[in-house]
Structure 1
Amino acid sequence: MSEELQAELVKQCVAMAFTAGGKFAEHLWKRFTNRVPLEPAAVERALRRLLEENPEAARDLRELLDNELPSGRATPRIADHRGPFVDRQGPWAQLAGRTGTATISGPPGIGKTSLIRRFAAGGTSPGGAYPDGALLIDLADYREGAGMPLARTRIKTYVLSRLGIDTVGTTDEELAAQYEAALEPLRLLLVFDNAESAEELHNLVPPAPMSLVLALTSGPADDFVFEFSPHVPLGQLEPGADRQLLELLCPPELLARDPQGAEALLAQCDRLPGALLAAGHAVRQRESFTPQPFGALARDLAGGRALGKVSRAYDEMLAGLAPETAELCRLLTVFPGPSFTPEIAAVLSGQSEDRVGESLSELQSQVLVTADPDGRLRLGSQARQAVQRAGDTSGTDEAFARLIRFYTSRAVTADLRRERLRLYDQNVPPGPEIVVDPATEVDWLAAEMPVLRALAAAAYQRGFHRELTQLCGALEIVPLHRNVHREFEEVLRHGIAATTDPALLARMTSQHGRVLSLLGEFGLAATDFERAEAELRRIPDPDTVLHQQLTASVLEFRGLFHREQNQLTAAEECYRVALDITRRLSTPGRPYRGRGLCARMLANVLVGLHRPAEALALLQEAEQHTVERDDRNLAQVWLVRAKAFAETEQASDALALLPEVWRMANKARSDQYDLEIGEALGDAAWRAGGYDQARQYWSGVWQRYEIARHPRRERLYHKLRYGR
């Protein structure tokens, strides 16, 4: 028999002996010894000696404990949760079979009580961890008001009465002694709901090592950490569980009637069980007179509509926040989404990250701010709605101005490190110095593109048109390195609407056409190029160097438009005119970036036209005009060279060169040309006779195009079926 089991049996026996009126102690005494006075210490020594001499006595002791419990004691139960219940496997696992103490924290409506009701039903079932019952005490019923002292005597009397035990003491000390003695040997689940601090529970936690005592709190859990560990924070439902809960609340035919509205409503409910339950009830009330009840309710909530007691709870939480935390919550509402970092929270508040850290922690503890798996933060819809209902907008205009200027400064600073054509205003407003790491600047901007897409729409609506055109110009470096074309297209669309300057419009509309061409939306792209050429004609003094550079750039983008549609002859014409312009603009003996780009793009088209010898000659010019250490553009030159090798029966040279192309592109942290490199590897492998290997390369590229529904997927499918 283990020492732990022996100690447990001894403790139970001694405790039961002196909490059952003496009858049990007498029974133990007669059965095991007849030589020492009946005292706790003596009984304990006798029991330990007996167990050491006769381990089989453990079975007898267990039988006595089961048979000699005080007669008349009740087994209280906590009513099971009656509504739908989903998720919560993580918190449940932390509580299962536990004894001692624990804290469950979370805001009102998060599901603390629902979890405990469901947990208690399993724990007090036959064979459960708490066979002596479960009690849920709402401490709010024992206070005269929030923050007021608890009526502890009433609580102890209530607990004893639920256990079927009459109180025998007349003083607080006697009641406390009876309370502790009665609960000590039990295996009980004792839950104190609406606890405000660990201190107020000190005299209510019995010395019952086989019981579990839980404190449920809606406030910060810091006060409970040391005395009521472990801490089990209850937050949002797991992704997908909110949909599951909504499906339990609303019939399938209703969800099928308004699927997009259902998704919008889920977004407004922040995966919070209380909000979902209230929303489900509101939808059922609307279903007979609104064709799309989910969408209608989602729009109402986005406008600040209250959602019953759940919204009232969030209004109270907002009002109860510390002043600095409440201000940060208000300022975060101007952030357009979807997610932010502590750095952005500091920008919005005008404070340092250290200053906002404590406020962010408080907002997270109340699930007003939540964390994504990647560590980025989100302001919940419930928090936004509460701020809207409060009606305080002080400081929000200044916060948005800080936000748009921060992103503009960051993008312009990153862009100015690179040599390329710029037509936007490169002056940024004075402010804190922006420190940019050249190795990660594009990574940072690419990660922020979902934010920048939303920020562009907000900037246009708020009149920050100059900053918006700066963003459009500076962000051109991102889609050159990363496949973020859709996000950049939306940013550009707002920038085009924000200016009347013909040079800027020619640049932005042609860039927009280029992006749409890469996305396969050629009809819209054609309209962009028509407008870009019209804007070029509006430019005064078209013979300046800047305007000639702009003309070459527009032709370059139009050449890509034709190339993407396999209109190679039209593409050749555009690239030749652009190359002639850049040749005139270049200085003998010095690399000129625009000339290198146009020579390389023209060479790529010539390979497609089966004129590899001309392409290889142009690639020498392209490499001469590619600046040193420009790994991205050098990789593209070598990529076209490898494609030309494959066309001139030098497939082995192409296969040897392409891995180096991939290495250089990765070194430059560019993934825009991954698919083109993969297709070129397939072409070279086919030329070298490696047909299976070629199809493996082509298959990977085709799958990516198929997922995006890109027109190029048809070309790759043809290769997969018929070969090169």
Structure 2
Amino acid sequence: MSSELSPELFALNVASAVAASVAGAAWGKLTELPGLVTEALGRRRDKRTLESLLSDPDALAEVLGELIAEDPELADRFDEVLRQSRREAGGDVPEFPDPPPHATDREWERGELTRAIPQPVWRITGLRGSGKTTLALLSGHDQASRFPDGQVYIDLDRYRDGSDLARSEVAADILASLGIDREAIAFDSPRLWEQYRSVVNRRRFLLALDNARGVEEVRELSPTRPGSLAFVLTVHSDEALLAEYPHELPLRGIDRASGRRLLARYAGDGVVAADPQAVDELLDRCDDMPYAIIAVGVQLHRQARLHGPRAAGRVLAWLRDQGAGGAVEVIGRSLEETFRELPEHVVRACALLAEHPGTEVTTESAGVLLGTDPDGVLTELADAGLVSRVADGRLRLFNLVRDHASNRHGRAVRPEVDAGIARLLDHYRDRAAHADRLISPVRLRPYEALSPAAGTEPEPGFENGQHALRWLIGERFTLEALAAHAHRIGWDEHVVSLCGAAEQLVLNTEYHLRFVRMNTYGVSSAERLGRADLQARARGQQGRILSLLGDFGRAEGELRQALDLVGNLGDPELWSSTMENWGRHLQQRGYLTDAIGALRRCVEVDRTVGGHDGARAISIHARMLANMLLQSGELDEADRYLREATQAVLGHDLRNQSAIWTVRAKAELHARRIDSARSAIHYARELAWRAGTTQYEEQQALVLADVCVAEGDVDGARRLWGPIWQRYYHAGHPRAAELYARITAGA
């Protein structure tokens, strides 16, 4: 219900949507809001009209707050309109992944969680293997209708580097799961968290935070809107977590009927029915814990194939002989027996997979690590209850299985592990280099000399640059884990290559924090290699991203070191690229005059390079410089650099041509040559369309809106601002307020 929101916040949200709709800048369901407000004012016999209130945004928000407080039904109507508008803008409602095949009923616990709605955060606690994740997923599916904005499941362990959690990346992925376009997600930390709070305060959704470790990460990420709910899944709750979030559902054993059903799922109904007394004793020894029951079920299935359906007595006797009297011991003994009975090649494969860097494997990475088609092995491991499928087709060894395989069988496969990891590192180094080249055929890549595949034609596995970028995004966790592993074992050339290709994650996505963390290994490996050029590149990129994230102190330190390194190399391209990063850092900090000086030096050096490389560098840096000069009001000089950029740009580089003509349109606007500005921005948009890029779409729409304002076509400008505002409005992005002000002012 809308009344569950802070009334002030909700009224402000509705007020901005009403004003934008009246101004003609909104579309779809939002256009219904002015009529609802007018009807409500009429029912109230309020002498003020919507038109009079629009001139005073504070008064409009105040009146809407009163209407919402007086009429809960109207508040519900507003809430439904906003929600349907988000559907129009954001696509499908997110859902939890399907529960695993071994999911147990847990009817009582599911009932408790269904009644948990009045409390915003519930801790689900229990040992590994107790079924916390399964219960959360089942409960989410039970309650889907209660959360109209969906359900988001996050495994926090995917975002950890040791004990450090990449919280901003978690927040960005939650926003993306809630339907926020990744291009509309702020990447600098303060604005990201402002946006995160804005979005979760508007949404009514269910969030599951798996493998939570402390109160700070729960406090930052959990939704605060009443009617939303967070499940916090943790093995242990420290005192701070317990004090702040006292509502707990501790998981112990499942009920006996569910235990029998789970056992039957692996052992067969006939086996469970053949000896009910022995089955009950087995469940007692398992402490009714789901994973222990699964482990025993696998044993029962194998014994039944050999000795018939009355296998429960045999397994029970074996566990007694082993002295296994609790869930942990049962799991350990059962895993030993399962591994003993698996074919040797499957055991060795499992031990190899246990050494896979990171927490998850894909079919692709498993095949590379094993050196063979993995489908048969993965099927056998799944049938034995040793691996589970997680999101995006990935697989995960259960932690207990990973530990057992590594501790008991790791030594036997040590030579194979070393060879498999080498294959894995080579494969991902080369695959990432191919992806990088396909995404951006022409860009500076100092790491290419280290990667045999970097300078070759992209392999046929990628359909196009977008496909290659999606692969990089999907493999980002694996790439970081591989970089960390390669750094640890001293494969520094592979580290630098992986980090070099991963630059695409910050050129085309918002994964800035992940790159900074991963590139820390790149900086260190470049130093160990003693390559000043690689160090300069790695530190320059690190400084650039830190500056974008607003960490100016660290950014300046990295960039100054990069400039010192590159100064004596005699590599004008790398020097110019590093100086560009420095100039953009200065611009980010508001030092526009110094930034202009840095870009001037870039262009001067670019002119000495010659050839295609020099021309490309000039076209980029002269365009950037012209844009800065326009900001400072130096129109004539901006025009000169724009001409130079236009002359230098390569004929096939349609993306850069589009960017140049966008700046040209701005220059024509500054000079009050409105017709020329319109022609330039239309040509820029045509070039972007021909290049198949949407990178400049928003910027070009805003320039065209400025052209409309200059022509006196305020309605035309509002039609252009509207979709951008609506996108940012639903995304909770700070820029929504700026666009809202322009829409209402018409300028």
Q: TM-score w.r.t. structure 1 length?
A: 0.54
Q: Which amino acid aligns with 1:347?
A: V
Structure 2 residue aligned with 1:505: 535
Q: Identify the match of residue 520 of structure 1 among 524, 545, 550.
A: 550
Task: Report 1 or 2 for greater relative contact order, CA contacts < 8 Å, sequence distance ≥ 6.
Answer: 2
Structure 1 residue aligned with 2:344: 323
- State which drifts further: 427-436 or 511-520: 427-436
Deviation of the 1:384 alpha carbon: 1.7
Q: Which amino acid aligns with 1:504?
A: L
Q: Identify the match of residue 626 of structure 2 among 572, 586, 603.
A: 603
Superposition pairs of residues 54-69 of structure 1, within 5 angstroms: none
Structure 2 residue aligned with 1:23: none
Deviation of the 1:590 alpha carbon: 9.2
Structure 2 residue aligned with 1:336: 357
3-state SS of 2:443 partner: coil
Superposition pairs of residues 615-694 of structure 1, within 5 angstroms: 615-650=638-673, 658=681, 661=684, 665=688, 668=691, 673=696, 676-677=699-700, 679-680=702-703, 683-689=706-712, 690=714, 692-693=718-719
Q: Identify the match of residue 402 of structure 1 among 407, 410, 423.
A: 423
Q: Distance in 2 between matches of 1:485 and 1:592?
A: 29
Q: Which amino acid aligns with 1:330?
A: A
Is 1:529 aligned to 2:559, yes or no?
yes
Q: Identify the match of residue 369 of structure 2 among 345, 348, 352.
A: 348
3-state SS of 1:606 partner: helix
Superposition pairs of residues 158-237 of structure 1, within 5 angstroms: none
Q: Identify the match of residue 360 of structure 1 among 355, 374, 378.
A: 378
Structure 2 residue aligned with 1:388: 406
- Residues 308, 533 of structure 1: CA spacing in aligned structure 2 closer, same or farther, 3 A cutoff? same
Is 1:480 aligned to 2:507, yes or no?
yes
> Could you list the runs of 5+ residues in structure 1 that have no partner in the other structure?
1-79, 90-107, 115-237, 267-271, 282-304
Q: Is the 8 A contact 1:517 1:564 kept in 2?
A: yes
Structure 2 residue aligned with 1:580: 604
Q: Is the 8 A contact 1:369 1:379 kept in 2?
A: yes
Q: Distance in 1 between matches of 2:436 and 2:106?
A: 58
Q: Is the 8 A contact 1:552 1:582 kept in 2?
A: yes
Q: Which amino acid aligns with 1:326?
A: V
Structure 2 residue aligned with 1:84: 109
Q: Is the 8 A contact 2:721 2:743 kept in 1?
A: yes
- Residues 558, 442 of structure 1: CA spacing in aligned structure 2 closer, same or farther, 3 A cutoff? same
Structure 2 residue aligned with 1:458: 485
Q: Identify the match of residue 565 of structure 1 among 571, 589, 593.
A: 589
Deviation of the 1:496 alpha carbon: 0.3
Q: Identify the match of residue 256 of structure 1 among 214, 236, 242.
A: 242
- Residues 380, 548 of structure 1: CA spacing in aligned structure 2 closer, same or farther, 3 A cutoff? same
Q: Distance in 2 between matches of 1:376 and 1:247?
A: 21
Structure 2 residue aligned with 1:449: 476
Q: Is the 8 A contact 2:566 2:575 kept in 1?
A: yes
Structure 2 residue aligned with 1:193: none
- Residues 350, 87 of structure 1: CA spacing in aligned structure 2 closer, same or farther, 3 A cutoff? farther
Q: Distance in 1 between matches of 2:108 and 2:419?
A: 45
Is 1:699 aligned to 2:725, yes or no?
yes
Deviations 1:649-673 (A, max 9, x none): 4567656665765675576565655
Q: Is the 8 A contact 2:607 2:614 kept in 1?
A: no
Q: Distance in 2 between matches of 1:527 and 1:455?
A: 27
Q: Is the 8 A contact 2:701 2:720 kept in 1?
A: no
Q: How many aligned positions are there?
A: 460
Q: Is the 8 A contact 1:583 1:595 kept in 2?
A: yes
Deviation of the 1:645 alpha carbon: 3.6
Q: Is the 8 A contact 1:415 1:474 kept in 2?
A: yes
Deviation of the 1:247 alpha carbon: 7.5
- Residues 680, 330 of structure 1: CA spacing in aligned structure 2 closer, same or farther, 3 A cutoff? farther
- Residues 280, 471 of structure 1: CA spacing in aligned structure 2 closer, same or farther, 3 A cutoff? closer
Deviations 1:248-278 (A, max 9, x none): 9999988535989x99x99xxxxx9999986
Q: Which amino acid aligns with 2:483?
A: A
Q: Is the 8 A contact 2:606 2:614 kept in 1?
A: no
- Residues 241, 567 of structure 1: CA spacing in aligned structure 2 closer, same or farther, 3 A cutoff? closer
Structure 2 residue aligned with 1:369: 387
Structure 2 residue aligned with 1:468: 495
3-state SS of 1:420 partner: coil
3-state SS of 2:374 partner: helix
Is 1:491 aligned to 2:518, yes or no?
yes
Q: Distance in 2 between matches of 1:505 and 1:413?
A: 22
Q: Is the 8 A contact 1:332 1:345 kept in 2?
A: yes
Q: Distance in 2 between matches of 1:245 and 1:574?
A: 50
Q: Distance in 2 between matches of 1:361 and 1:308?
A: 26
Q: Distance in 1 between matches of 2:728 and 2:287?
A: 41
Q: Is the 8 A contact 2:583 2:599 kept in 1?
A: yes
Q: Distance in 1 between matches of 2:739 and 2:433?
A: 38
Deviations 1:262-303 (A, max 9, x none): 99x99xxxxx9999986999xxxxxxxxxxxxxxxxxxxxxx
Q: Distance in 2 between matches of 1:678 and 1:554?
A: 31
Structure 1 residue aligned with 2:154: none
Q: Distance in 2 between matches of 1:522 and 1:682?
A: 33
Q: Distance in 2 between matches of 1:321 and 1:662?
A: 61
Deviation of the 1:409 alpha carbon: 1.4
**Larger C-alpha radius of gyration, 1 or 2?**
1
Q: Distance in 1 between matches of 2:663 and 2:288?
A: 59
Larger helix percent: 2
Deviations 1:55-109 (A, max 9, x none): xxxxxxxxxxxxxxxxxxxxxxxxx9796357999xxxxxxxxxxxxxxxxxx97
3-state SS of 2:649 partner: coil
Deviation of the 1:499 alpha carbon: 2.2
Q: Is the 8 A contact 2:583 2:594 kept in 1?
A: yes
Q: Distance in 1 between matches of 2:581 and 2:541?
A: 7
Deviation of the 1:716 alpha carbon: 6.4
Q: Distance in 1 between matches of 2:207 and 2:359?
A: 16
Q: Which amino acid aligns with 2:655?
A: R
Equivalent pairs: percent with the same residue?
A: 27
Deviations 1:194-231 (A, max 9, x none): xxxxxxxxxxxxxxxxxxxxxxxxxxxxxxxxxxxxxx
Q: Which amino acid aligns with 2:500?
A: G
Deviation of the 1:241 alpha carbon: 10
- State which drifts further: 365-374 or 562-571: 365-374
- Residues 331, 557 of structure 1: CA spacing in aligned structure 2 closer, same or farther, 3 A cutoff? same
Q: Is the 8 A contact 2:357 2:478 kept in 1?
A: yes
Q: Is the 8 A contact 1:678 1:697 kept in 2?
A: no
Q: Distance in 2 between matches of 1:241 and 1:533?
A: 42
3-state SS of 1:402 partner: helix
Deviations 1:539-598 (A, max 9, x none): 3xx4x3xx22221111111111122234321211111110011112225x9972111111
Q: Distance in 2 between matches of 1:590 and 1:424?
A: 17
Structure 2 residue aligned with 1:269: none
3-state SS of 1:426 partner: helix
